[in-house]
Each structure stands twice: as structure tokens, then as C-alpha cells.
Chains A and B, each alone.
Chain A
Amino acid sequence: MSANILTVDDSASIRLTTKVTLTNAGYSVTEAADGAEGLATAKSSSFDLIVTDLNMPVMDGLTMIEELRKLPGQAGVPIIFLTTESDADLKARAKAAGATGWLTKPFDPENLVKIVKKVLGR
């Protein structure tokens, strides 16, 4: 069964890679270019999973996760946090904010699918 995934990243190339990878794995993907856009998109339709970057203009990934978790409709929606190797404490903060899991950048497309499957349970 397919799932709707929202990817939030300010890098168009990463968005594209993510989209191609996830689309090939049978998921349908919606994109947002920053946290604020991601939040608005998440509010306007329902997603089975959100994959978000940390450093973004307008609203960063941490703030977006915190805001998302405040919304009643977003409880239980898994959020995968993309981070870089130096962000160990950020990972902890992201978890505290309500992230479900994380993936270290640069990521291998195979791993992305693996993590997505793991978090979605499908």
C-alpha cells in the first residue's frame, strides 16, 4: 500500500533525489521548500510521513516539528529528521521536539527507503 510522504528541504537537488527515490519505491511525494511551507502543507492535507531537513530559511526543521506536534491532527504522524554527522545534540533536541527518527546526511537512497519503511511499518 502506498503512502503519502511530505519532504521538506530547501535544497532542490536533495528534494529531487528524495522524491525520485521515494517515488521509485512506490510512495507518493509532496515537496515543501522550508519549514513554514512544510507546516502549511501538512496542515492542508494529511500525510503518512514527513521527512524534514534542519537548516532552512524562514522556519527551520526543529521549529517545524515542534509546531507540528502541537497540532491535534498531527499526533502520531512519523517525522524523519535529516541531519548531518555533527548534529548529535540536535538529534536529541529533534527527538524531544517530537521527531520519530533521523537519517544522517549525506544519505544513501537505499537507506532512506529502509528508514521510511521502518517508520511507516510498510
Chain B
Amino acid sequence: MSTLDPVAVFRMEAAECLEAIEAGLLDLTHQLDNKDLVDAVFRGLHTLKGSGAMFGFEALAAFTHHCETAFDRVRKGEVAATSELVAAVLAARDHMRALVDQPDANHGDTGSKLLAQLQAAVGGKAAPVAAPAAVVAPAIVREVSAKKKNSWRIRLSLPANSMANGTNPLGLLDELRDLGECTVRANTAAIPPLGELTPTELHISWEVMLTSEQDRSAIDDVFIFVLDDMELSVEEIDGAATAAPTVEKVAAAPAAPVSMAVPPTAVPEFRPVEAVPVRREAPAAASQAKSAENVRVPAERLDELMDRVGELVIAQSRLSQLASASADIALRSVSEEIERLSGELRDTMMVLRMVPVATLFSRFRRLVHDLARETGKVIELVMEGETTEVDKTVIERLADPLVHLVRNSIDHGLEMPADRLAAGKTEAGTVILSARQAGGEVIISIKDDGRGINRERVRAKAESSGLIHPGQPLSDSELLQLIFAPGFSTAAAITNLSGRGVGMDVVKKTVEALRGAIDVVSVPGQGSEVSLRIPLTLAIIDGLLVRVGSGRYVIPLSAVEECLELSLEEDLRSRGRSFISLRDSLVPFLRLRDLFRTGTKPDVHQKVVVISTGTERVGLVVDQIIGDHQTVIKSMSKLHNNVATFSGATILGDGSVALILDVGHLVAAGQHQEAQLRVTG
């Protein structure tokens, strides 16, 4: 896609416009008398109509025109904004989207139905259906019909302020000259004495003798912009008059043939209804908005740039390694410089890819609005932390899972208003969509104050579908994780909204593919919260390079809390227990040497790297901590997709490969081990 294709730009812009219109309309449902919102929606519709007509989206322009008209009437106070009107335009907006996406498809029926709805909403007395902008003939296109030559005496006098307003009288005279043979005489009588002269004012009037093949309308066209404010007289003259011009500097006397035919006088197409030639004082409201320059870049170019930066980072770390082994001071200093630059470049690159989650959240307002209408539930949507920024790829991939989770919350979590009141709750259920950054992760959560997940039903369903044995002991979190099992649903009847469980496995898969994790908290009668923990970015992370046996591994630095020494005595003492005491709390730890079956002897000075995901902490015993390492994440092959312990691989400075540890998985493993130890005592 070329960024210089106006139609493509229009489509992007139309999408933004439609989103803004939708957001405005949704806000408007709560504040019907908010004039700013009405203006904003009007502007959106207006732009959509105007641009649509320009780029050949005639159906869109025609349809949008009606909505714009309706909103213009609201804007002018002729009709009130009602929830019916907002709903009608909201529905119309979806139709506009279809008209943008498939301008050639036949949308006739939907369109007229929506328009009828719209007319009804503005009280039946909607403005007459005007032709869409697109069918208006463009300006200043005229038929050149008369080939006979005509002669005119034209007297013109422009308003004194016309030069200040950008009209160039010389330009107008030049245009007359272009029409045919022409002599011009200036009348300078009105010029005041020098002392009283205002240089920006015009005091000269002209008399022009013109002989042209063009007709009278051509003359009017010359003055089209000033016609209403100026004095213009155009007299048709015969040859005799032309032959004796009252002109001082006759450069080329027009030898015009006589023509008796009177050309039809064309009315200029754009004569304003009423001219207001009085200069008004403008309200002083010049807000000096900061002009932010934005550049649109196709996503794939950013990805490409990201890849290059990634390669640069790898090359740079190889250079660093070579330089550190060299005695060449110059080489070392260049290497350090490049290290700094590539680090900065990487940081800049990261920022380029970050977008606020608001772009993701905004679409939920419409979803919730529609769901409320569909289900008859009263829903209040609260959004928090919309400015939190996340990698754009992450945002794109999270869209569908989040839609699913929000639907679930509303469909299964929230009770009907009557049930809520009976349970002593407010009539309106609340869904809180929040995002916040925690270390190298962003946590996006969907929380409702509904009925919570029914554990008995989850268990019953899991037992009947053979996911667990009857009576199998499960911890609460394990039980709740069952809802992510493929094909699992606790919904008695699956509604068209989708049941809790239907597709939850897909949600989980998507989140895990992003190297994230899902937590579910649910209190019966009080509601549920599903939290998605997603790494901030997918491409480059800061990692802690460690050695276990002879292999090297990377731990995402964002998850690292602290590093401790594990003395040999402590190591021996902790055998079989696998807990270390960390400032009054016991933290389970995993011996990576055992986990990876390195078959090597532990180093004398083993280290424990304490990692955390949210509240859970786990220590990882490694042989050596090598240091901080900028890690370009390379995904592993499909063959290795099931290796949960590692989330990817990276290339080290010397060209060798190190695996990146999956923190979430390791913490879960640690917790599991802890739970088992507790059970066995």
C-alpha cells in the first residue's frame, strides 16, 4: 500500500472518523445536551461526507449527508438530541462503515430503513432530502458556445478593502486580457493626497474595452469572488464605439467585428444568498495550539525497522565482546560508543511501537452499549489507565480475546437488574476495564461485580466432560483454570453472545503466544476479575544472562527482583526442602541444574535469582550470573512450541544461542512444587 494513494488515506481517515463519531455518540447518550459533543459528531459526519464525495464514495456521501443534516439541526437548536436520534445515527454509522468497506455493494434497503429511522427520530419533519454533494457541478466549468466576437465596455470599481483581503486587481485585469483584445484605462481621480493615503486601500477604478469570443458569463467569472461587493457595469457596444475608444494609452486598438447578437447573461453559480460587505471584528480566541506533526507509517515498515535494530543489537554485542578481549583502546571506545547508540536506538524504536491502550479500549464502549440493549441489563463501563502504552502488535492481538472476556463478563457475570436488586446490589452492573504497567509487563484486567463463577457448576461440568476425575482434589485456582480448557462451557444454554468457556481456550492460547499469563479471581456473589499479564514488548528485552552447567540462559530482567548467593552449606541444608528464607518470608526455589538435567556439579558459589510475576515469587538457582544483556527475541520453531520452560531464543555476542526462560511458567512450577511439599508435609 502506498501512503500516497489518496483513496487509501481516505479509508484510514474514514475509519478514524467513524470511530470518533461513534465515541461522540456514545458520550452523547449520557449527556444529550452537551453542545461540544454535538459539534464534534457533526464535524465528523461533515468530514466523512466531504471526503467521501471527493474520493468517489458517492453512496457514502449521500447517506452521510442525511445524518449530517439531522445533526446540523441539533447544532442549530432546531431539534433536540434524543436517545432515539443517537441510536439511529449510531446504527447509521455502521452502515457508513459498510459503505466505506464495500462502496459497490448494494446497500439500498438497509440505507433507506436507517434513514426512515433517522427521520422518525428528528420528529418526522426532517430537512428535505438534498442531493448529495457529489452531484453538484464543479465550479467555473462553462461551455464555450459563442464563437462570435463581442465587444464590451466594462467599468469596474472594487471595494477599498479588497487588496487587504487578498484580491489582486492586476490579476483580475490580466484575466480580462486573457479573454481577448483589451485596453485598460485607470481612473485615478479618487486617489487621496499622499498624506491621507492608506497604502492597503484601493482607490483606483478601471474602464476596460474588451473584444472577445467569450460570452458575458466569462466576464462575470473573472469577478466571481468580488461580484457582490464591487461595482461592475458591462455594456455591449457596437463597432463604432470600439473604433473610438476614450483611452489614453492605446497600445493595440481593437479591430473588432461588429456583433449585434446579445449573448445570454449567465448567472454566476456561486452567488451568495446575502452579501455582508461589512468587516466584522472577530472574537479574540486565537488559541495557540501546539502543532504536533504526525507521520503515518505502515506497520510492516516499523516491523522491518525493528528487525534491523534487532540485528544491529546482536552485531553490536559481538563487537563489544571482541573489543573487550582486545587491547586496542580506539576499538574499545568505538565499541562503547556503538553500544550506547544502539541502546538509544533500541529505546527509540520501542517508543515508536507503543500505542496507548485507549485505542483498544475505545471499541468496548460500543460493544457494551450494544450488549446492554441486547441483554436488557444495565451496565456501567469504567475504563482505567487508558494512557498505558503497549506494543502495537500486542494491542492488535489482544483485541479479540478482550472482546470475548468483556462479553463473558456481561453475559454470564452480570445479573439482570431485578436479580441484582434482589441480591442487594445496585441495579446497574459495573464492568471495569483497566490497564496498568507493572515492571516489564502491562496488566489488563476485566472486572465485574456480577455473580461470580459458580464453582460447583465448573466442577460438575469438568467431571462430566472427563477433564477431571470425580472428586479429584483441586486447589481453587486450578479449579478456576478449568474454564480455559478447550470446549469447556458452564453456560446452561449458550447464548448468541458466547458462553463463559466457549473460546476461553483461544483466549488463553493468544495470551500465552504473547508470552503473557492469565489470572482469574472470582468471589461468589461479588464478581470476577480476569487479569491478562502481557509483556510490554515482543521484540527486544533486557535480560539477565546466566549460566547453568555449560549452557547459557536469559531471564527477562523485568521479572528479576534480586540476586542472592547460595552458599554450599545452605544448599546442602535446603536439600529436599527447596525454600530459602528471604526477609521473613519463605520463597520456594527451583534448581535449574536439576530441571535441565545438566549432569554437572554445582558451582561453589551458586546464585539464586529471585523472579516474580505479580505477587508470586520463586528463586532460580543458577551456577553463574554473567550479566545484563540486551536480548533480541527470536521465536522458536513450531517443533518447540510445547516446550513451556522457554519462551524463545536469542543470539549472543559470540554467535551462540541462549534460551530465554519463561518466567510465568517457572513461577507456576515453583508454586506447584511448594504446594506439593505442603501436601506431603
Contact = CB atoms under 8 A, between A and B. Distances in A.
Contacts of A99: 165-166
A28 interface: no
B471 interface: no
Given A37-B291, A95-B276, A70 B282 contact: yes
B668 interface: no
B55 A76 contact: no
A116 to B, nearest CB: 11
Contacts of A55: 42-43, 46-47
Contacts of B163: 75-76
Contact of A107 (B139, B225, B289): B139
A11 B200 contact: no
B275 interface: yes
Interface string A98-122: 1111111111100100110011110
Given A11-B51, A12-B9, A85 B275 contact: no
B334 interface: no
Contacts of B42: 55
Given A32-B291, A101-B224, A111-B139, A91 B270 contact: yes
Contacts of A33: 291
Interface size of B as a range? 35 or more
B138 A104 contact: yes
B141 to A, nearest CB: 7
A29 interface: no
Interface residues of A, number: 60
B51 A14 contact: yes
A25 interface: no
A96 B166 contact: no
Contacts of A121: 168, 170-171, 174
* B interface, over-half SS: loop
B166 A13 contact: no
B6 interface: yes
Contacts of A114: 140
Contacts of A107: 54, 138-139
Interface string B271-300: 011111111101101111101000010000
Nearest to B52: A106
A115 B140 contact: yes
A96 to B, nearest CB: 4
B641 to A, nearest CB: 41
Given A55-B46, A66-B280, A89-B272, A95 B229 contact: yes
Interface in B144-168: 163-168
Interface stretch (B129-137, B235-243, B423-431, B617-625): B129-137
Contacts of A95: 165, 225, 228-229, 272, 275-277
Contact of B133 (A76, A84, A98): A84
A2 to B, nearest CB: 17
A77 to B, nearest CB: 6
A79 B164 CA distance: 11
Contacts of A100: 165-167, 225
A12 B133 CA distance: 19
B37 to A, nearest CB: 12
Contacts of B134: 106
B206 interface: no
Given A16-B4, A119-B166, A119-B171, A103 B47 contact: no
A106 B64 CA distance: 14
Nearest to A49: B166
A92 B6 contact: no
A59 B286 CA distance: 8
A63 B282 contact: yes
B220 interface: no
A81 B229 CA distance: 17
B140 A106 contact: no
A58 interface: yes
B101 interface: no
A95 B12 CA distance: 33
18 contacts: A12-B9, A13-B6, A13-B9, A16-B6, A36-B286, A36-B289, A39-B286, A40-B289, A41-B291, A56-B43, A69-B164, A69-B165, A75-B163, A85-B136, A91-B272, A92-B228, A105-B50, A114-B140
Query: Considering the complex of A and B, which 10 residue pairs feature the smallest CB-CB distances, nearest first?
Result: A66-B282, A121-B171, A78-B166, A100-B166, A13-B10, A101-B225, A36-B289, A92-B272, A106-B53, A106-B54
Interface of A: 10-14, 16-17, 20, 32-34, 36-37, 39-41, 55-59, 63, 66-67, 69-70, 75-79, 84-86, 88-89, 91-93, 95-108, 111, 114-115, 118-121
Given A13-B13, A88-B270, A98-B279, 7 more contacts: A79-B165, A86-B130, A92-B272, A97-B280, A100-B165, A106-B53, A108-B138
Interface of B: 4, 6-7, 9-10, 12-13, 40, 42-43, 46-47, 49-51, 53-55, 61, 130, 133-134, 136, 138-141, 163-168, 170-171, 174-175, 200, 224-225, 228-229, 270, 272-280, 282-283, 285-289, 291, 296
